[in-house]
Structure 1
């Protein structure tokens, strides 16, 4: 078996982010007077629903950067579906900011027909620093930064005061006023300040009267209730994120599963999370995630 070199892997990764001809034509239509340079996608993991590029431009000799997202790629969204999702981006961002999350600014978004579907082009604030997935799986990144990321997520989730109750797959959970697709690739830690940002607002995870406001089977393979469990409950969000961290971190070396779990339990014990939530999370991790596996086993095909 022939393995790819690091250079070949980097080139294949970069190709996923290279704008196609239609995208470039739309960009030129939106910004006819600006000459953009498309930078290498350093620090950005491959997305499931969006293509992301870093654009650089110059104003009076000063270089500036912006994130250019093409949301809904390959999801076959109709124009009306895209309009609904686009209309909720700014309100959803406002809800998250109101709940204490740091969210990059959305400068502008626009519906764009691309091939046989409609996408949302979004121009957003650039946050210097790689995403959490690339940080955790990189053995050259110090472990104290990885612990900081996990601690900040737990602190952010623990800070919610507007907590309800939901029950999914036999577990009573603490429900949040809005959901987040809280995976490693959607978290960026700004290098200079250590400030943590949540960077993915597509599709918006707003909740109204206990139900998703804009749920779509085109975007989510989980049922509405199962999605609520892992994207809008504190216990489910921590379990989902921690399992991703454990997998990536142990694979990259430098730490064992036993030590990682022991240190996580210490973080949980010293957090402001209610004891019943900490107990459920510990029990689920100690049993190797049977409840989480059940949630994911019921994907809609």
Structure 2
């Protein structure tokens, strides 16, 4: 029985340890969020999608924008006074277009200043959300991306090209239906982006130029729009992620692996002086 008791205690420990670690991580995150809110006098909302392992069995957390995300963000916005600034920290590959549009629409209607921080990347729907902000603050190496609609596994623009390059008699019915859906999706998304930009006082001509650039398929869907290019396009971007925001991102570690693919000493270095002393 003694051996069985040891085994039972060990099993309970392994069962409880992941939950305790997750609880402690959530506690640290809440503390850092409150620190940012106190410093900036704002409501901080995070939309961060990292592949985290949760629980004893190491189940992975969801890592894309979902309807559940939009419900939570909209709830947070409703709990925020209209005259209080909102800081949204976003790190996402994108996700469900409807969810991204709901979040963007709610942010654009908020009376006080909305700032979106992009520490690493905000692609696709993430960029759509960022466009609703009064200001986008990016790390100098962070990226945004096109918001051109995707129909299944294909870009909507690419589906339409089939009708341009082949006689209609040689195109199957399914492709024709997809092309019709693609045309509607591009029109709808372009109009949504245009309206977002107009709501942020972007001149009509510039809003039309930007909405076309981001939806017309000139780039692949995973094309990285770096800070410099975002600036050239005319987006209201600013470089320099605050240290407290970077510190918060450190509390969202990737799922553990048997062998880490990246290793380094996690501290800033200073260049030694000529005599070998700092």
- TM-score, with normalisation over the residues of structure 1? 0.30
More relative contact order in 1 or in 2 (CA 8 Å, sep 6+)? Answer: 2
Question: Which structure has the bigger radius of gyration?
Answer: 2
Higher helix proportion, which one?
A: 2
- TM-score, with normalisation over the residues of structure 2? 0.32
Higher strand proportion, which one?
A: 1
